[in-house]
Amino acid sequence: MQNNRQALADSAAENVITSTHLTVNAVNAFTEQVFHTRGGRIGSGMGSVIEALWGFHLNVILNSEKEIPYELGWIYGHEYNDFACILRNEDWDPETKDGELFRIEVKSMVASADESKAHFDRLQHEFAENELLAVFLWNWKTMNDQPKTIYPAILDYFVGYALPIAQLRDVLHLERGGSFIQKDHCPDGCAIQPCKHVGEPLNASGVRERRSGPQSSRGVGVSYAANFGGMLRMLGSRGKTGKEYLKTEYASDPTKARFIDFMARNFPRVARAIK
Ligand SMILES: [Zn+2]
């Protein structure tokens, strides 16, 4: 039974990944038809709308195939804009994860901003093995027949397993001089080990990267650095070792390669880093 569940989760994840092209076309067709405006804003919350539209349109595609036993559910009361792939005919409890096959963390980036504000900063141990990451790059586009009117469109995307991307992020974090809190070495001197800070990232200056890091690692004038998992920064490498690592992983891990390709296609800085 457990093996059947695993096989179903694997094929569902594969289906979500390979259906993305169709789904993105459907989202763009919808926004081109309905989301017309003049003078579109950046930082408008449109990224969150696009993330949600992807989930709803994917659900339409999944639900059109009656033999498929799963669909997407939008997780409520969650810090992240996440979906869960859930079994269609079972009860779903987001607290216990009963009825779930896996989760999907969704991120969006707007192409016209200088620096991507999207953050992929959950720690490796916070991810389930088969969790997916979906990243959408979008921008306002001019309507073909109405040059003054624009609509938001997805330009490019990555959908794949999240854990390999977190591993890539963490190795490069270390390579740039950052660190992670180790058991029995918490700067807060927590009495019970392992404490809740184990695995929290610190930057090269020893400042905590997340609000949940140790109190004693706050920065001067800032509560935390908040650079960890920045979509562009996380692929930055300082020296030769980092570049070599990126190249080796690119050649050996298809998920990491697809992510690096996605970023390199859209950001010259990343393209230069893997040359
Ligand atoms: Zn601690």
Is the pLDDT at 196 greater than 90? The verdict is yes
Those residues whose C-beta lies under 8 Å from the C-beta of residue 55, and which sit 6 or more positions away, are 72, 74, 83, 104, 106
Please give the single-letter amino acid code of residue 237: S
Cα(151) to ligand 1 centroid in Å equals: 47
135 with 196, same domain? Answer: no
143 with 250, same domain? Answer: no
Cα(186) to ligand 1 centroid in Å equals: 5
Cα(249) to ligand 1 centroid in Å equals: 32
- What are the tens digits of pLDDT across the range 66-82? 899 999 999 887 656 58
119 with 173, same domain? Answer: no
Query: Of the ranges 112-116, 226-230, 241-245, 256-260, which one carries the lowest mean pLDDT score?
Result: 112-116
Question: How many structural domains is the chain composed of?
Answer: 2
66 with 146, same domain? Answer: yes
49 with 140, same domain? Answer: yes
Range of the domain at 264: 167-273
Please state whether beta strands 179-180 and 132-142 pair in parallel, antiparallel, or not at all (unpaired). Answer: unpaired
pLDDT score, position 272:
82
Helices 163-175 and 240-252, interaxial angle, to 10°? 160
Please list the alpha-helical segments (H only) found in the chain.
2-18, 20-34, 46-63, 163-175, 240-252, 254-266, 268-273
With beta carbons less than 8 A apart as the criterion, state whether 226 and 210 touch. Answer: yes
Return d(Cα 109, Cα 91) in angstroms, integer: 33
Q: Cα 116 vs. chain centroid, distance in angstroms?
A: 12
Cα(218) to ligand 1 centroid in Å equals: 13
Is the pLDDT at 232 greater than 90? The verdict is no
Last-in-domain residue among 161, 188, 209: 161
Last-in-domain residue among 161, 187, 208: 161
Cα(206) to ligand 1 centroid in Å equals: 14
